[in-house]
Amino acid sequence: MTVNIRLEEEKDHRIVEEITRDAFWNLYLPGAEEHYLAHTLRKHPDFIPELTFVIELNGKVIGSIFYSKAKIVAADGTEYPVISFGPVSIAPEYHRQGYGRQLIEYSITEAKRLGYDAIVIGGFPYHYHTYGFIGTKKYNISMPDGKFYTGIMALPLKAGALDNVSGKIIFSPGMYPDPDGLEAFDQTFPEKEKKVLPCQAKFEAAASELDENEY
């Protein structure tokens, strides 16, 4: 088997959106919105095309990762640029086979090579601690509401990159597309049944879990 990771090209757009839809369908909510996010993020000024990759298996695209600009805003208004990734998608039939890990590790290496300071993401901690991500509470970086959540994590890409930074993480507005366009966009894909599943409640609980750790 030959695995190849390369930059996303225009020819990949629709297949990436199809894979993203399948990967997230009914996972966090009935249906999915991540394929719409992928579609709209590419047009946003915070989109980072040089860090948006697809992974191929024997020449077939089976997954992708998107990056966007974010920033930490200090109490005095100083802004510190960081980056974020998501959505990350692997076609369901290739889940738990290490392809997502290869894609994430490759993109982190490239982000370092390109000189970015740090990555801040939202997700399940058990997915991302293995890459070196740690709760942003360690760096006194909160969400805009001033709270620290276990699912908001940071990875410095340079030694000490976040040691003298504190404030609130502001993810790109491109990560929150206008929901009014989702339904029409989703109708351009094959019909799939929307279901309420236990994993959705689990995600909702995890997303609101406060970080009580001491760092």
Cα–Cα nearest to 167, from 54, 96, 81, 62: 81
In tens, the pLDDT along 168-182 reads 999 999 999 999 999
Predicted pLDDT at 125: 93
Domains and CATH numbers, the chain: 3-173+199-207 (3.40.630.30)
Predicted pLDDT at 25: 98
Predicted pLDDT at 172: 98
Predicted pLDDT at 99: 98
Residue 28: band (very low, low, confident or very high) from pLDDT cuts 50, 70, 90: very high
| 187: three-class secondary structure by DSSP | coil
Percent of the residues in the chain that have a pLDDT greater than 90, as a whole number = 99
User: Are the C-beta atoms of residues 146 and 82 closer than 8 Å to each other?
Assistant: no
Predicted pLDDT at 166: 96
| pLDDT at residue 1 greater than cutoff 90 | no
| pLDDT at residue 209 greater than cutoff 90 | yes
Predicted pLDDT at 15: 98
How much is the average pLDDT of 118-140?
Answer: 96
Task: Find the Cα–Cα–Cα–Cα dihedral 102, 105, 110, 113, rounded to 10°.
Answer: -140
| Model confidence, pTM | 0.96
Q: How far is CA 101 from CA 94, 151, 204, in A?
A: 12, 18, 24
Predicted pLDDT at 169: 98
The better pLDDT of the pair 206, 85 is held by 85
Give me the chain's average pLDDT, please: 97
How much is the average pLDDT of 137-145?
Answer: 97
In this structure, what token pair is assigned to residue 143? 């969400």
Predicted pLDDT at 171: 98
How much is the average pLDDT of 65-78?
Answer: 98
| 121: three-class secondary structure by DSSP | strand
